[in-house]
């Protein structure tokens, strides 16, 4: 899985169909959903609906927390009126800044992510999520990713940013109502909250709690959304989405919680603008692929590095000359990486037990969000791996090695040259690596 595609998938909140791969080994689920699952949960064999229902606990509907009085015709009318007032607020505000953080509750834990939003006048806006940036200004929409240093996407604005994304940028959507509210029509405010697999067409409830106005939205399928807004400022402060995406067996629903922190102002501190730098424009996401040198090959000098390990010690590759070094590039969000790490751990244990003249390191790359390194350390400790990992979260070392996907494993000989390269998950990798290490040592441990 490439980091670019994951960035786009997460930004678009592509959470659908992780069960498809469990039912059909040839299916290709959305990257963010598949990789959020625990590696042991993904099996090659099909699973029955009962097993899937147990794997994906059924989330309670938001509507269950609304009493019957809050679903009465009068309550629904009040909720509809308030929703239109919220839309009018977002349409008329000269400038809006916000940070949207969301938590997806999936098997094996929670997946957290966030994005920042800035709205200027009209359809001028900027959204940043991880390495990705979308900018709309001057009648143009720009899409860029910091991993792609020489290209960006540029398309003409087709009425609204929402319409432009749907028609010209492969249907990308963002887990926030801001863009759609900005360009919404009177009486159509509910349509601004259809994202992340939920298509909501009507207000189904309204209640007030602790100064917050809660509006229940429903549509087709087993999904609903609770929008919580400050009753005085009319600014959305949180959303709770419960969804049963298309193709899910009966009884499977996901819960996604959103926290927002909107600020209205007369003017943005920094105007909306896109700076292409030395990058050149391309017409679509299909052309937005990293231009890299080929990945390091057998016989090449292994790019040197100095990185800190998870115990706080510096590891200098140059100082390891005379030993065989095995490095494995991985990330916590990468399902194939998690599945493959035990094979690297088995190699590390063999090296230690046989006193082979070799060193084994994991290299942690491309993590995102606050506390990424701490999260990686927690994962490492929880799995009790016997070898250390090195911090390359920014991705400088893996970039030097030329990989745009992980896992990737490299065997470096005693002279600092590459002996072997493996990309992707290989179930029998331990034995292959043992043989390659011994070969690099002249057949001696």
CATH of the domain at 334: 3.40.30.10
Q: Calculate the dihedral angle through the C-alpha atoms of 334, 338, 340, 343, rounding to the nearest 10 degrees.
A: 160
First to last CA, the chain: 34
| 281 in the same domain as 171 | yes
**Does a structural domain hold residue 389?**
yes
User: Among 254, 287, 320, which residue terminates a domain?
Assistant: 287
Domain co-membership, 155 together with 280: yes
Computed from CA positions of residues 287, 292, 294, 296, in that sequence, does the dihedral angle turn out positive or negative? negative
- Say if strands 280-282 and 151-156 run parallel, antiparallel, or are unpaired: parallel
Same domain, 275 and 358: no
**Residue 300 domain-assigned?**
no
Q: Are residues 272 and 321 in the same domain?
A: no
Q: What is the structure's pLDDT at 113? A: 83
Structural domains counted in the chain: 2
pLDDT at 17: 37
Residues 281 and 311 in one domain: no
In a domain, 18, yes or no: no
The backbone torsions φ and ψ at residue 30, rounded to the nearest 5 degrees and listed phi first, read -60, 135
Which residues form the domain of 341?
306-440
Report the greatest alpha carbon distance in the chain: 83
| Helix (H), strand (E) at residue 52 | helix 49-55
pLDDT, position 155: 95
99 and 216 together in one domain: yes
Same domain, 316 and 266: no
Contacts of 147 (CB under 8 A, 6+ apart): 3, 4, 7, 131, 290, 395, 404
Number of neighbouring beta carbons within 10 Å of residue 348 = 22
Domain contains 321: yes
Cis status of the peptide bond prior to 407, with omega within 30 of 0: yes
Q: What does the pLDDT profile of the chain (445 residues) look like in tens digits?
A: 444 444 444 444 433 333 333 333 323 333 333 333 333 333 333 445 555 555 566 778 999 999 999 999 999 999 999 999 999 999 999 999 999 998 887 655 677 888 999 999 999 999 998 788 999 999 999 999 887 888 999 999 999 999 998 888 877 878 889 999 998 888 899 989 987 556 788 999 999 998 899 999 998 778 899 999 999 999 999 999 988 766 666 667 778 899 999 999 999 999 999 999 989 999 888 788 766 556 788 999 999 999 999 999 999 999 999 999 999 999 998 889 999 999 999 999 999 999 999 999 999 998 877 788 999 999 999 999 999 999 998 889 998 998 888 999 999 999 999 999 999 999 889 999 999 999 999 866 5
Question: What CATH number is given to the structural domain containing 202?
Answer: 2.50.20.10
| 246 and 322 together in one domain | no
Q: Is residue 32 part of a domain?
A: no
Give the Cα separation of 101 and 111 in Å (integer). 11
Quick one: tokens of 109? 């834990």
Query: Which pairing describes strands 212-219 and 254-260: parallel, antiparallel, or unpaired?
Result: unpaired
Same domain, 340 and 210: no
Final residue in a domain of this structure, among 258, 287, 316: 287
330 and 273 together in one domain: no
Distance CA 48, CA 218 (A): 29
What integer pLDDT is reported at residue 27 of this predicted model? 31
Separation of alpha carbons 404 and 139, rounded Å: 33
CA distance 31 to 28: 8
For residues 370 and 283, membership in a common domain is answered with: no
Residue where one domain finishes, among candidates 255, 287, 319: 287
3 domain-assigned: no
Is 278 part of a structural domain of the chain? yes
Q: Is residue 426 part of a domain?
A: yes
- Kindly state whether residues 257 and 364 are assigned to the same domain: no
C-alpha torsion sign, points 316, 426, 110, 205: positive
């Amino acid at each position: 899985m490439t980091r670019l595609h994951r960035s786009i998938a997460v930004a678009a909140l592509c959470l659908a169909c992780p069960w498809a791969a469990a039912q059909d080994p040839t299916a290709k689920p959305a990257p963010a959903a598949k990789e959020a699952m625990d590696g042991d949960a993904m099996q090659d064999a099909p699973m029955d609906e009962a097993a899937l229902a147990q794997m994906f606990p059924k989330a309670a509907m938001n509507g269950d927390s609304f009493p019957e009085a809050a679903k009465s015709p009068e309550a629904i009318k009040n909720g509809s009126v308030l929703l239109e007032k919220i839309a009018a607020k977002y349409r008329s505000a000269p400038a809006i800044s916000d940070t949207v953080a969301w938590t997806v509750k999936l098997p094996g834990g929670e997946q957290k992510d966030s994005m920042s939003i800035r709205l200027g006048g009209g359809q001028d806006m900027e959204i940043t999520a991880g390495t990705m940036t979308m900018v709309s200004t001057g009648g143009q929409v720009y899409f860029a990713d910091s991993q792609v240093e020489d290209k960006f996407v540029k398309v003409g604005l087709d009425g609204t940013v929402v319409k432009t994304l749907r028609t010209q940028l492969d249907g990308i959507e963002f887990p926030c109502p801001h863009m759609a509210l900005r360009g919404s029509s009177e009486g159509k405010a509910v349509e601004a909250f259809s994202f992340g697999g939920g298509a909501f067409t009507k207000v189904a409830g309204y209640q007030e709690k602790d100064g917050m106005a809660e509006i229940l939205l429903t549509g087709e399928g087993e999904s609903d959304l609770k929008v919580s807004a400050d009753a005085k400022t009319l600014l959305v402060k949180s959303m709770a989405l419960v969804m049963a995406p298309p193709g899910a067996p009966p009884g499977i629903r996901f819960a996604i919680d959103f926290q927002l922190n909107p600020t209205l102002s007369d003017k943005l501190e920094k105007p909306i603008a896109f700076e292409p730098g030395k990058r050149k424009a391309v017409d679509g996401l299909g052309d937005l692929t990293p231009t890299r040198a080929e990945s390091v090959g057998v016989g090449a000098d292994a790019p040197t590095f100095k990185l800190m390990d998870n115990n706080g010690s510096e590891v200098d590759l140059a100082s390891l000359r005379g030993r065989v070094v095995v490095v494995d590039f991985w990330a916590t969000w990468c399902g194939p990486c998690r599945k493959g790490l035990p094979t690297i751990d088995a190699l590390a244990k063999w090296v230690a037990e046989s006193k082979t003249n070799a060193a084994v390191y994991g290299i942690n790359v491309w993590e995102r969000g606050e506390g990424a390194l701490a999260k990686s350390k927690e994962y490492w400790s929880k799995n009790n791996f016997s070898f250390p990992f090195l911090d390359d979260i920014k991705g400088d070392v893996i970039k030097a090695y030329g990989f745009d996907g992980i896992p990737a494993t490299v065997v470096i000989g005693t002279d600092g040259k590459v002996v072997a390269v493996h990309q992707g998950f290989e179930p029998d990798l331990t034995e292959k690596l043992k043989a390659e290490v011994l070969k690099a040592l002249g057949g001696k441990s």
